[in-house]
Amino acid sequence: MNQKVKMSFTIITVIIGFMLATQFETVKKPKERDTRDIWELRDALLKEQKLHSTLLTEIRSNDERLEKYKTKMKDSKETALNETLQELKEEAGETNVMGPGVQITIVPVKEAELMGEEIDTVSPDLLKRLLNELNMYGAKNISINNERIINTTVIRDINGTTKVNGHSLNKFPVTLNIITQDFHSAQKLFNQMQFSSTIDEFFVDNLKVSISKPKKVIHVSAFDDPIIIRYMQSAK
Q: Which residues contact 227 (CB under 8 A, 6 or more apart)?
A: 92, 94, 150, 152
Supply the pLDDT for residue 12.
Answer: 66
Predicted confidence at residue 62, as pLDDT, reads: 74
pLDDT tens for 27-41 read: 555 555 556 667 777
Instruction: Give whole-number Cα distances, 136 to 21, 52, 230, in Å.
Output: 50, 12, 27
Q: What is the pLDDT of residues 148-165, one digit of tens each?
A: 998 888 899 988 889 998
Percent pLDDT > 90 in the chain is 31
User: How far apart are alpha carbons 109 and 123 in whole angstroms?
Assistant: 15
Q: How far apart are CA 126 and CA 145, in angstroms?
A: 16
Looking at the predicted structure, is the pLDDT value of residue 172 above 70? yes
Q: What is the mean pLDDT of residues 140-147?
A: 93
Q: Between residues 31 and 191, which one has the greater pLDDT?
A: 191
At residue 192's C-alpha, the angle toward residues 191 and 196, to 5°, is: 125
Residue 63: alpha-carbon gap to chain centroid: 24
91 close to 222: Cβ distance less than 8 angstroms: no
Average pLDDT over residues 166-190: 92
